[in-house]
Copies of this chain bind each other. A is one copy, B any other.
Amino acid sequence: MDAVREADLEALLRTRGYRVTRPRRAVWEVLCAAERHLTVEEVSALTQAAGYDVDLASVYRTLDLLEELGLARASRLGEGDANRWELAHPDEHFHLVCSRCGRVDHHIGSLVAQVREHLDTGHGFAVDEVELTVTGRCAECR
């Protein structure tokens, strides 16, 4: 779907000494094409739909690997116990979760940067990651 990203993955895998395999390509492709956060189950189903047939255990292992490579990101949004996955967005962003319709919007703003700066300068805390999730009602549901 996205040839650039496809190439990125392969290059990064090789650089780090990992092998380029069918399951890894499949999961990556699905994740790139996704427009929303996916559960592991959904990723598995989508790889099937794309003709790949990847085992669930491999999806787990691959997503962990992608996270380690900084390419994917897990979060526990919405209902249920299951983790949800998305591409690691280079821009700092946060999530708006509507508690009625369940929609998850991404919001890019300076807020995350503000938090980072505030802590770095005043409190001796070396910020690594900022996770900001806001729940409420979206414009359509309020």
List A residues at the B interface (Cβ < 8 Å).
Answer: 76, 96, 99, 107, 109, 111, 114-115, 118-119, 123-139, 142
Contacts and interface: CB of A to CB of B under 8 A. Distances in A.
5 contacts: A99-B128, A111-B114, A115-B134, A125-B142, A130-B133
B124 A139 contact: yes
Contact of A127 (B111, B114, B134): B134
A114 B115 CA distance: 10
A107 to B, nearest CB: 8
B137 A123 contact: no
B127 A118 contact: no
A131 B118 CA distance: 17
